[in-house]
Amino acid sequence: MARAKSHYVCSECGGTAPKWVGRCPQCDAWNTLQEQAIEAARPAVPANRFAPLASGGGIQWLDSVVAAQVPRFPTGADEFDRVLGGGLVPGSVVLIGGDPGIGKSTLLLQALAHLSASLPVLYVSGEESAAQVALRARRLGLDGSKVPLLPEIGLESVVSAIESAAPKVVVIDSIQTLYTDQLSSAPGSVAQVRDCAAQLTRLAKQQDIAIVMIGHVTKEGTLAGPRVLEHMVDTVLYFEGDTHSSFRLVRAFKNRFGAVNELGVFAMTDKGLRGVSNPSALFLSQHDQQVAGSCVLATQEGTRPLLVEVQALVDTAHVPNPRRLSVGLEPARLAMLLAVLHRHAGIACFDQDVFVNAVGGVKIGEPAADLAVLLAIVSSLKNRPLPRGLAVFGEVGLAGEIRPSPRGQERLREAVKLGFSKVIAPKANVPKKAFEGLEVIAVDRIDAALAAAW
């Protein structure tokens, strides 16, 4: 196959150059030239461009388009289907990233093994040989599954195999290993990743194929490659968790077919990843007796309510600048909450080291965790444990008010399900009909919340 011509385009000014140089000839910017393939000339647009509106081809009227609900493909893993929004959508492109060894290939191989019983599938492996994939499948107990395997990194060969096999679900492991003959740059470069992902996305839309691409991550934890890669696909998932722990979290950061920030919890076993049906139990420590500095937060991850234990440790600072450390919670909000606590509750921590942690490795980004953080800090500072069976949620404003949080009913139901008897909640989140066995204490100010906690 003849190599297509390419040129280099400046990301700053859009200027082109026939070969790579360090400085753009047009705008003099350094290291901004990126390789792109030269597209073939397209036929001229006819004068009656809008004529197809009447026949339904080409450009169409929005109200005439039939938007039918397409049945999804369940992957066999309920937690994975929850994050996807109910399963894989035909014609969708999913990008899943995570640290090496976190379990991305294991999860997708298990999903393909389940789907292969009812659908034609294809597993494209660019990182492992066929023997290595077979050994992993045997270790997971999937050696009896009929999963077609293609160890290939050439994009043209992969596209040809997909067109001939006509699968409904394709897994690309990984997008950074693929390369196209149209570009001379190495596999994994920005131009190669962008062009390979664009061609696979176009193929998925044209033939209604669900394509799942595994992506590498950088040391900062973001997906490697151009940022346009995340804009190009329909769903972006991140695998989180410590490789030394048996629990894994899959979180949706973008999903055109489901809820964003949806969370799936898995446990890594010797037979692969297994879904955790009651993840709230993972994020609650089991204490024989109540301890100071511990508060249970009723949080919301996507459509799933969770109960997470927030722990705080307040200790006398031995340095001029006291430390403020937050793990699993937004670090920028900690200093703000301490200022609100001092101004509106009269409790000062300017000479104290403050450490806050969310148990279980979960990352909480919603402001409804504010009240739980403050109660845990005050509990540790005064060495007074909170009452047993208490859960809290609520956003704290700069004026000391307790602001309402979304999906308050779901948070209260989760607290009742796990046996909690008392919840401190914003006044606007108090239900009109009381929950049996649950006392809801409505608060509207931070001082009222501190009084109600003890």
CATH number of the domain enclosing 358: 3.30.230.10
In this structure, the answer to whether residues 273 and 328 fall within a common structural domain is no
Q: How far is CA 163 from the centre of its chain?
A: 31
In this structure, the answer to whether residues 237 and 383 fall within a common structural domain is no
Could you tell me which of 126, 194, 209 has the C-alpha nearest to residue 162? 209
In this structure, the answer to whether residues 246 and 395 fall within a common structural domain is no
Q: Is residue 59 one of the residues assigned to a domain?
A: no
Q: Is residue 62 one of the residues assigned to a domain?
A: no
User: How does DSSP assign 342-406, residue by residue?
Assistant: HHHH----TTEEEEEEEGGG----SGGGHHHHHHHHHHHHHT-PPPTTEEE--EEPTTSBEE--S
Domain coverage including residue 358: 294-453
In this structure, the answer to whether residues 264 and 400 fall within a common structural domain is no
In this structure, the answer to whether residues 167 and 273 fall within a common structural domain is yes
The whole-angstrom separation of Cα 280 and Cα 419 is 12
In this structure, the answer to whether residues 200 and 321 fall within a common structural domain is no
**pLDDT reported for residue 47:** 45
Question: Of 249, 277, 305, which residue constitutes the final position of a domain?
Answer: 277
Q: Is residue 229 one of the residues assigned to a domain?
A: yes
Residue 447: CA atoms inside 13 Å, Cβ hemisphere, count?
A: 7
In this structure, the answer to whether residues 19 and 104 fall within a common structural domain is no
| CATH number for position 250 | 3.40.50.300
In this structure, the answer to whether residues 83 and 232 fall within a common structural domain is yes
In this structure, the answer to whether residues 21 and 148 fall within a common structural domain is no
Q: Is residue 49 one of the residues assigned to a domain?
A: no
Q: Is residue 329 one of the residues assigned to a domain?
A: yes
- 3-state class (DSSP) for residue 176: helix
8 Å CB contact between 233 and 93: yes
In this structure, the answer to whether residues 354 and 438 fall within a common structural domain is yes
How does pLDDT run along the chain (454 residues), one tens digit per residue?
A: 455 577 888 877 777 888 888 888 888 888 888 887 776 555 544 544 444 444 445 788 888 888 778 889 999 999 999 999 999 999 999 999 999 889 999 999 999 999 999 999 999 999 999 999 999 999 999 877 889 999 999 999 999 999 999 999 999 998 999 999 888 888 888 889 999 999 999 999 999 999 999 999 988 878 888 888 999 999 999 988 776 678 888 999 999 998 888 889 999 888 889 998 788 877 787 777 789 999 999 999 878 898 999 999 999 998 889 999 999 888 889 999 999 999 999 999 999 999 999 987 788 889 999 999 999 999 999 999 999 999 999 999 999 999 999 989 999 999 998 889 999 999 999 988 888 889 999 999 999 999 999 8
**pLDDT reported for residue 220:** 80
Q: Is residue 265 one of the residues assigned to a domain?
A: yes
State residue 90 phi and psi, 5-degree precision.
Answer: -60, 135
The total number of structural domains that make up the chain: 3
Question: Of 277, 308, 328, which residue constitutes the final position of a domain?
Answer: 277
8 Å CB contact between 429 and 439: no
Q: Is residue 403 one of the residues assigned to a domain?
A: yes
In this structure, the answer to whether residues 83 and 210 fall within a common structural domain is yes
Q: Is residue 333 one of the residues assigned to a domain?
A: yes
In this structure, the answer to whether residues 122 and 35 fall within a common structural domain is no
**pLDDT reported for residue 8:** 85
The whole-angstrom separation of Cα 110 and Cα 212 is 13
